[in-house]
Amino acid sequence: MVDHPIRILFVCTGNICRSPLAQAVLQRKLIDRGIQTDFLIDSCGTAADHLGQQADTRMRRVARSHGVMIDHRARRIVAGDITGCDLIIGMDEGHMRTLTSLARQLPEPGELRKLLWYVSGSAEGAAPDVPDPWYGGQEGFERVFDLVDAGCEALAERLAVMREG
C-alpha cells in the first residue's frame, strides 16, 4: 500500500496525441484494477503549439473505439512537473533528451523512463519509440493505440505489484 498518491506524467511533443492517450489508457487500467486512488496521472507536451486544445480528433476517435475516453487540454511541461512527479514517461528518444536536459537543472527530479521500456525491459536506449501519428493516416493512430496500450498494460502490472509491496 502506498502512503501518498504516486504522480505519473506522460510526455509527448504537442500533448494532443500520444501522451493524453497514455494518460487515459493508464487511468482506465488502474480503474479496472481498483487501484486508481493510489495514482495521479497527467500528461503534457514539450512544445507550445497546441496549448489549450483538445486531443487530436483522430486520436480521440481511435481511443473511443477501444472504450477509452480522452478528456484533456494540451499544456506544456514546466519545471514543477519534473520535480513534482515520481515517474515521468516520454514517448520517444527526443522527449527523453528534453526531459533529461530539464532534469539535470533541477533538484530531485522524478524517475525518467520511455513508455515502451515497460514492454521490452531492455536497456533504456534500446526501448522502441512510440511514433508520432500526427502526419500519418488512420493506421498510424491505430498502431499508436496498440503500442500505448501494451506499454500501459505492462506499467499497470508493475504499479499493481509495487502497490502491494
Out of 17, 18, 38, 60, the active site residue is 18
Under 8 Å between Cβ of 18 and 145: no
Look at residue 42 and give its three-state secondary structure.
Answer: strand
C-alpha cell, 31: 480503474
Active site residue 49: no
Which is more confidently placed, 35 or 117? 35
| pLDDT given at position 2 | 58
| pLDDT given at position 165 | 72
Active site residue 143: no
Could you tell me the domains of the chain?
Answer: 6-164 (3.40.50.2300)
Task: Label residue 119 by pLDDT band (50, 70, 90).
Answer: confident
| pLDDT given at position 61 | 98
| pLDDT given at position 152 | 97
70 membership: H or E segment, kind and range: none
pLDDT reading at 118 higher than 90: no
Out of 33, 76, 132, 163, the active site residue is 132
Determine the average pLDDT of the residues in 71-98.
Answer: 96
Determine the average pLDDT of the residues in 41-65.
Answer: 98
Give phi and psi for 52, each to the nearest 5. 80, -10
**What is the distance of C-alpha 20 from the center of its chain?**
7
Q: What is the pTM of this model?
A: 0.95
